[in-house]
């Protein structure tokens, strides 16, 4: 598996490239499915193309395209091996009379099987759904293959929740597949709706101005309605924003402003709706992000001058500064394993993505030479980061791996912000 090549932030603005270790990707060949009862064009677009893209982007696979032989029987295994194939994935798609579509996938380790001249499957699985679910079945197959190879489920079936500007003064929440398909609305408030956050069990919370002043709304129970969570009575001394679920789904960290323009981080207990203050200083404290254990938070503060990333314990104690280089660092996002924190740093009038590796005590630059990059959020498998990039008003969603070399655009519409990459909702 390829190790990430990261860009270290060195003194005097120099960039030091950390070379990737020489890794190996598993060569997988995916011939076109054999289809019965489903139009070939639909199979090609909704299943085969989606599956190839998922495997390309998964990380440990190298999809074999050149030199592929025509057959898939045991007699062809040597030719597949000569083309660089290790796993040969064959699929059959059949539609029954009741409209149900069955997809049967089988993987043969052709290197191991070529001498035996026999088909020995290392993976076999059946997927069933309607014809409209071919994309979903392709995503599920890619994730299952990832799990079979690495022991960790892939992210092809994951989703991204984000904010989209619909017109001046109106922003709504949307959700889409992690490859940019199937964009669907979550809210239709015809107001400013911002800062989505999703708990591990799928409950959502967000900021909305639909009542006039900014309020935190969200779900207290799985599948329950969106209701006002904060403030419950009257108006707080200042605006509230930036909610983020704790990993146990029992708390929301959020930012509370005061009448003097200062902001502090507080924690809202969802069961009791009681608030506990974590910071108390005459400055800006914002952008809270929990570590996976729920024991610490990263946040942005200008308590020592320009904005920098800080850490603190869940009770607000042991505040310490994390970032030291650069005059403006913010928007921290803790990685799923807890070993890294993504953030943005301003340089020459625009923001770039950086990753701070806690084990190294160093920051590494991810994006460079592109438009301003903001609002990072990790993929659940920690291999990629989704973020917004573009000029003001023209922001769109992109993803990148940790090398910054595989930048992919997800959206074709402007006004995107605050993406959150989630397993499910």
Q: Tens digits of per-residue pLDDT, 312-326?
A: 999 999 999 999 999
Reported for 81-84, long-range contacts at CB under 8 A and 24+ positions apart, including other chains, are 81/110, 81/111, 81/114, 83/29, 84/27
Same domain, yes or no, for 40 and 189? no
Question: Pick from 98, 129, 150: which residue ends a domain?
Answer: 150
Residue 9: is its pLDDT beyond 60? no
What's the sign of the alpha-carbon dihedral 363, 368, 374, 379? Answer: negative
Q: Pick from 269, 328, 264, 263: which is nearest to 294 by CA?
A: 269
pLDDT at 365: 95
Q: What CA–CA distance (Å, rounded) separates 393 from 320?
A: 35
pLDDT tens-digit map of 111-158: 888 766 566 789 999 999 999 999 999 999 999 999 999 999 899 999
Q: What CA–CA distance (Å, rounded) separates 100 from 379?
A: 32
pTM, two decimals, is 0.90
Kind and range of the H or E run holding 53: helix 49-58
pLDDT tens-digit map of 41-84: 999 999 999 999 999 999 899 999 988 898 999 989 999 999 99
The CATH number linked to 32 is: 3.40.50.10070
Residue 20 domain flag: no
Say how many domains are in the chain.
2
Q: Pick from 155, 153, 136: which is nearest to 144 by CA?
A: 153
Question: Pick from 150, 180, 197: which residue ends a domain?
Answer: 150
- For 178, other C-beta atoms within 10 Å of its C-beta total 23
Same domain, yes or no, for 208 and 146? no
Q: What CA–CA distance (Å, rounded) separates 39 from 308?
A: 55
Same domain, yes or no, for 92 and 111? yes
Residue 192 domain flag: yes
Q: What CA–CA distance (Å, rounded) separates 414 from 388?
A: 10
Same domain, yes or no, for 57 and 183? no
Residue 118 domain flag: yes
What angle, 0 to 180 degrees and rounded to 10, lies between the N-to-C axes of helices 134-150 and 49-58? 30
pLDDT tens-digit map of 259-316: 788 999 999 999 999 999 999 989 999 999 999 999 999 999 999 999 999 999 999 9
Residue 74 domain flag: yes
Residue 16 domain flag: no
Residue 2 domain flag: no
Query: CA-based Rg of the chain, rounded to a whole angstrom?
Result: 24
Same domain, yes or no, for 66 and 210? no
Residue 5 domain flag: no
- For residue 190, give its domain range: 159-422
Residue 11 domain flag: no
């Amino acid at each position: 598996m390829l190790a990430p090549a990261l860009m270290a932030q060195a003194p005097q603005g120099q960039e030091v490239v950390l070379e990737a270790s020489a890794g190996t990707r598993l060569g997988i060949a995916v011939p076109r499915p054999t289809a019965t009862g489903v139009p070939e064009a639909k199979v090609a677009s909704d299943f085969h193309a989606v599956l190839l893209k998922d495997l390309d982007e998964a990380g440990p696979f190298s999809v074999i395209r050149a030199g592929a032989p025509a057959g898939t029987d045991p007699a062809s295994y040597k030719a597949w091996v000569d083309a660089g194939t290790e796993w040969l994935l064959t699929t059959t798609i059949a539609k029954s009379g009741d409209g149900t579509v069955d997809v049967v996938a089988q993987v043969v380790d052709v290197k191991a099987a070529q001498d035996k001249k026999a088909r020995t499957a290392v993976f076999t699985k059946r997927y069933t759904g309607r014809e409209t679910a071919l994309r979903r079945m392709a995503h599920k197959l890619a994730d299952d293959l990832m799990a079979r190879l690495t022991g960790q489920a892939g992210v092809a079936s994951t989703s991204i929740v984000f904010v989209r500007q619909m017109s001046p003064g109106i922003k709504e929440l949307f959700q889409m597949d992690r490859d940019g398909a199937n964009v669907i609305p979550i809210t239709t408030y015809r107001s400013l709706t911002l800062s989505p956050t999703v708990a591990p069990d799928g409950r959502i919370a967000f900021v909305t101005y639909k009542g006039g002043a900014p309020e935190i709304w969200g779900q207290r129970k799985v599948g329950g309605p969106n209701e006002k969570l904060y403030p419950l009575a009257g108006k707080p001394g200042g605006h509230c924003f930036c909610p983020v679920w704790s990993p146990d789904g029992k708390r929301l960290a959020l930012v509370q402003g005061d009448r003097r323009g200062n902001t502090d981080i507080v924690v809202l207990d969802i069961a009791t709706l009681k608030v506990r203050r974590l910071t108390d200083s005459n400055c800006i404290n914002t952008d809270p992000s929990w570590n996976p254990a729920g024991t610490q938070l990263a946040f942005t503060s200008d308590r020592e001058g320009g904005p920098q990333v800080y850490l603190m314990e869940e009770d607000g104690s042991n505040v310490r500064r994390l970032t030291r280089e650069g005059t403006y660092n913010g928007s921290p996002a803790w990685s799923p394993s807890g070993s890294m924190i993504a953030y943005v740093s301003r340089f020459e009038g625009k923001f770039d993505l950086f990753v701070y590796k806690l084990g190294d005590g160093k920051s590494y630059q991810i994006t460079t030479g592109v438009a301003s990059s903001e609002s990072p959020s990790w993929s659940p498998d920690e291999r990629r980061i989704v973020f917004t990039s573009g000029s003001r008003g023209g922001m769109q969603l992109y993803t990148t791996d940790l090398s910054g070399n595989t930048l992919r655009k997800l959206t074709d519409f402007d006004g995107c912000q605050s993406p959150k990459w989630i397993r499910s909702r």
